[in-house]
Structure 1
Amino acid sequence: MKKKLLIVGLLVLALALGTTSNALASKGKVQIAYVEWACAVASANVVKAVLQEKLGYEVELTSVSAAAMWQAIASGDVDGMTTAWLPVTHGHYLKRFENRLEDLGVNLDGAGIGLVVPTYVTIDSIDEMNAHADKFEGRIVGIDPGAGIMSKTEEAIKEYGLSNFTLVESTGAMMTAVLRDKIRNNEWVAVTGWSPHWKFATWDLKYLEDPKGIYGGAEQIHTIVRKGLKEDMPEVYHVMDNFNWTLADIGEVQGWNAEGADPYDSGKRWIEENPEKVKAWLP
């Protein structure tokens, strides 16, 4: 008799757990777009971890170009993103789509973009580059062509008269791979760079001065969502509206990822190690 009661009890418990799991799963799917940049990978996975682990949503991350990311949110094909660089880098995208999406404001202060070189490079300003084009092999190593920093670098080449240079399209991973190889050989190299990024913790780097102000001053990273998200998924909207962290926070996650950790595992680790910050984001 006791054995039968135990079996019945286990079945009831299994059904209850199954019901709970189904209830959580039934909260729906959230779609977040991101670009394969270290900062975007870190923030997207932290938000994914919060929505899945703390609130029970299913979250799908979609890697796209910067232009496609903005377009997808404006058209309502995805719910949001955590990596809008404003006011300079992505300013032209915001101007184009601002009436078709919602800017939830800053989630990270103190960001910036520019041309980055190893500290052993003996020049300090962009306007000195032409005189040393041979040492740079006439190249500025960039990232994906749709990135705002690429259009700004094309502008810099024009404004500074860098006629001896070509902007090379690649990816964030390829850019850092080239940087790594050049540093190993103590060779000159210039790359499109931004902060926050784990490369600054890995190597001794510096931004070249930008006296013409092409790259702007300090940037902020904003969270952008589609129109109607607040009405459709108020909990998701609340988290994304309240999500904010520091350069130290994102740098920690980027560091784990750079060491080979799975980005989602890094997101879960960070939210478990920072419960008070996460609590402030939750409904």
Structure 2
Amino acid sequence: MTLGVGLTLASCGSDDDNSAADCGSSQAVAQALTDNEADTIATNTSQAVARVAPASTTQARTRTAPAPGDTITLGIIPSWSDGLSMAYLWQNLLEQDGYKVEIKEIADAAPLYTGVAQGDVDIYPSAWPEVTHASYMEQYGDQLEDLGAYYDAAKLTIAVPEYVDIDSIEDLVGCADRFDGQIIGIEPGAGLTEVTEQSVIPEYGLEDYDLKTSSTNGMLTELQTAIDNKEDIVVTLWRPFWANSKFPVKDLEDPKGALGEPEGLHFIATKGFSDEYPDIAQKMGNAKLDDEQYGSLEDLVVNEYGEGKEAEAVAAWLEANPDWVDTLG
């Protein structure tokens, strides 16, 4: 399932919304979470923003052949590092094929799926449709097209710092006071938020906890502060996501399966996209990343290069993985 997050962002899941390898230096993470950036994050996630002037994507899809030179719009939630990494990877690949690419940043999963369904966004390049975003697929499925999954072992988690003497979600029962009665979550519209509220809390009888939502970066700020002070905290996380290796955290066991089964990360497009752009659809359908490949890509994008240098990070990854491009056909 993001992947959401480079604290310094740009290409969940991890949706909900929202499993697999990680990155740089925890000192860099802590430095990235300054008060000023937290304010910026709050502003940026309050509304959808585009890095470039939006191109019109609502016109009727009438062409029967691919048209390099067209603008392809990729929609992401910038704090979910899976989508961030994939968007910049595909920007590089598609621009090499002669397309123009716009990366549109949208604050939450709900408006992102709406945008794809309405044709304002062409592709969500790292969707979690099987479990985490299942409700959005149910709502918009007849307006969407699944181009395939690039990663097949994403999962949602509930996590605590390694020093906390709790190993299972069941162990949280009766311990609300230790955690100030809160589970620290991410965006309100994330699939992970929905699963936590509607499945995890009732299934385990955790009604004495409040799920505190804000943003992925807000959750990571609270996690960093708690770890710095060696305080108890429980947070919602997912894999693949670089924070699992940057922070000393552990997944709590889920014996009741309330978080759902592992799922794939998919390319979800506006219905009819593959008819209009069969070349892009074929390449995305062939794209597969294993744990090592995904982890090294996200590490470069989020940690080694960071915000504003995502294109350079992707170029470095492609240079180190030249054979991967050949697999796309």
TM-score tier after normalising by the smaller chain length: 0.7 to 0.9
The corresponding residue for 1:139 is 182
Higher helix share: 1
Equivalence map 1:222-241=2 (5 Å)? 222-241=266-285
State the AA in 2 paired with 1:197: F
| Cα separation, partners in 2 of 1:280 and 1:202, compared to 1, 3 Å | same
**How many equivalent pairs are there?**
257
C-alpha displacement of 1:237:
2.2
- Stretches of structure 2 that go unaligned for 5 or more consecutive residues are 1-66
State the AA in 1 paired with 2:155: G
The corresponding residue for 1:243 is 287
The corresponding residue for 2:72 is 30
The corresponding residue for 1:170 is 214
| Cα separation, partners in 2 of 1:103 and 1:206, compared to 1, 3 Å | same
Taking the aligned partners of 1:63 and 1:140, their CA distance within structure 2 comes to 27
> Is 1:207 matched with 2:251?
yes
Aligned partner of residue 131 in structure 1, secondary structure = coil
> Is 1:258 matched with 2:300?
no
C-alpha displacement of 1:181:
1.5
- Contact in 1 for aligned 2:184/2:219 (Cα 8 Å): yes
C-alpha displacement of 1:26:
6.2
- Contact in 2 for aligned 1:43/1:250 (Cα 8 Å): no
The corresponding residue for 1:17 is none
C-alpha displacement of 1:164:
2.2
Equivalence map 1:1-283=2 (5 Å)? 27-36=69-78, 37-52=80-95, 54-64=96-106, 65-155=108-198, 156-256=200-300, 257-261=302-306, 262-282=309-329
Taking the aligned partners of 2:160 and 2:304, their CA distance within structure 1 comes to 22
Taking the aligned partners of 1:264 and 1:116, their CA distance within structure 2 comes to 31
State the AA in 2 paired with 1:242: N
- Contact in 2 for aligned 1:51/1:59 (Cα 8 Å): yes
User: 1:18-43, CA deviations, whole angstroms, 9 ceiling, x for partnerless residues?
Assistant: xxxxxxx9611110111120111111
User: 1:156-180, CA deviations, whole angstroms, 9 ceiling, x for partnerless residues?
Assistant: 2222221221111121122112111
C-alpha displacement of 1:208:
1.1
Taking the aligned partners of 2:292 and 2:227, their CA distance within structure 1 comes to 25
- Stretches of structure 1 that go unaligned for 5 or more consecutive residues are 1-24
Normalised TM-score (structure 1):
0.85
- Contact in 1 for aligned 2:159/2:234 (Cα 8 Å): yes
Taking the aligned partners of 2:210 and 2:181, their CA distance within structure 1 comes to 6
Per mean C-alpha deviation after superposition, the further-off stretch among 175-184 and 145-154 is 175-184
Taking the aligned partners of 2:244 and 2:85, their CA distance within structure 1 comes to 16
Taking the aligned partners of 1:99 and 1:220, their CA distance within structure 2 comes to 20
- Contact in 2 for aligned 1:130/1:163 (Cα 8 Å): no
Aligned partner of residue 108 in structure 1, secondary structure = strand
Off by >3 Å, runs of 4+ in structure 1? none
Taking the aligned partners of 2:113 and 2:188, their CA distance within structure 1 comes to 15
- Contact in 2 for aligned 1:109/1:247 (Cα 8 Å): no
C-alpha displacement of 1:145:
0.9
C-alpha displacement of 1:122:
0.6
- Contact in 2 for aligned 1:142/1:150 (Cα 8 Å): yes
User: 1:160-204, CA deviations, whole angstroms, 9 ceiling, x for partnerless residues?
Assistant: 221221111121122112111111111111111000011122123
C-alpha displacement of 1:225:
1.2
- Contact in 1 for aligned 2:184/2:235 (Cα 8 Å): yes
Normalised TM-score (structure 2):
0.74
Aligned partner of residue 179 in structure 2, secondary structure = coil
Taking the aligned partners of 1:157 and 1:43, their CA distance within structure 2 comes to 32
Aligned partner of residue 89 in structure 2, secondary structure = helix
**Greater RCO structure (CA 8 Å; 6+ sep):** 2
Taking the aligned partners of 2:129 and 2:264, their CA distance within structure 1 comes to 5
